Structure 1
Amino acid sequence: MNSEKTKHRIYTMSFASVYPHYVAKAEKKDRTKEEVDEIIRWLTGYSQKELETLLENQTDFETFFEEAPKMNPSRSLIKGVVCGVRVEDIKEPTMREIRYLDKMIDELARGKTMDKILRD
């Protein structure tokens, strides 16, 4: 889909620039920043301190996912449509990881319980 020369612009965006939107989406539906952080930690294996450092350092999305300590193997259970695309059909690995996170935040905002969102 995208060659190395034409990477999707989200890859170079800082994770910190999108993070407040995740939190706002959750809080608008009476969910919390702590739940957003829990989802991110579950998905990536980052500790809370590591997550906060990445946000402070304005780490880009590509690096954020490439350097994740332990991507959760259960993330392959995440199914459904985000931005009109089935997450399980996305071939490009980094975009798939971004969409997994988007889908989990959507589920949080739609009122799913954390145990269902975290799929453990």
Structure 2
Amino acid sequence: MTTTPEHDRKIAEMTFASVYPHYVTKVERKGRTVEELHEVIEWLTGFSKSDLDALMEEKVNFETFFQRATLHPNAHLIKGVICGYRIENIETPLTQQVRYLDKLVDELAKGRKMEKILRI
């Protein structure tokens, strides 16, 4: 699936720190914990809680965030639709990676078991 260059640029320039509070609100509102959120983020990116704190303090955008990340080898198993896009068909790598993260947060908020979220 092709996204527009404007869409991809907007995602690349968005800071992780601006989106993170929305992730926290979403999962807590559905009865999940911040610790579970961090577990999901660490699984996908390799970033620990202290890494995330440093990245947020630095106000890195998603482009830098994913350049520094070590994507989990099973990330390609994340499939489905998020924000109207089928993840596995997104052609722009960065946009796909951001949507991976969005999908994992959605699965966590929907009460999916951690083993399923982490593709174990």
Q: Same fold (TM over 0.5)?
A: yes
Moved over 6 A (4+): none
1:17-36 deviation line (CA, Å, top 9, x unaligned) = 00000110000100011111
Q: Take 1:79 and 1:6, find their aligned partners in 2: how far apart are those partners?
A: 20
> Residue 16 of structure 2 corresponds to which residue in structure 1?
15
Computed over aligned residues only, the root mean square deviation of the Cα atoms, in angstroms, reads 1.5
How far 1:50 sits from its partner (Å)? 1.1
How far 1:10 sits from its partner (Å)? 2.0
CA distance 1:6–1:113, change in 2 (3 Å): closer
How far 1:6 sits from its partner (Å)? 7.7
> Residue 98 of structure 2 corresponds to which residue in structure 1?
98
Aligned residues: 118
Amino acid at match of 2:17: A
Identity within the alignment, %: 52
1:54-107 deviation line (CA, Å, top 9, x unaligned) = 011111111000111x21011111110001111000010000000000001110
> Residue 84 of structure 1 corresponds to which residue in structure 2?
84
Amino acid at match of 2:43: W
Consecutive unaligned residues of structure 1, counting only runs of 5 or more, are none
Structure 2 length as normaliser, TM-score?
Answer: 0.91
Query: Contact 2:16–2:60 (CA<8 Å) still a contact in 1?
Result: yes
How far 1:48 sits from its partner (Å)? 2.0
> Residue 25 of structure 1 corresponds to which residue in structure 2?
26
Structure 1 length as normaliser, TM-score?
Answer: 0.91
CA distance 1:94–1:73, change in 2 (3 Å): same
> Residue 47 of structure 2 corresponds to which residue in structure 1?
46
Indicate the SS of the match to 1:79: coil
CA distance 1:7–1:98, change in 2 (3 Å): closer
Indicate the SS of the match to 2:74: helix
Q: Take 1:6 and 1:116, find their aligned partners in 2: how far apart are those partners?
A: 29
CA distance 1:55–1:27, change in 2 (3 Å): same
Amino acid at match of 2:96: R
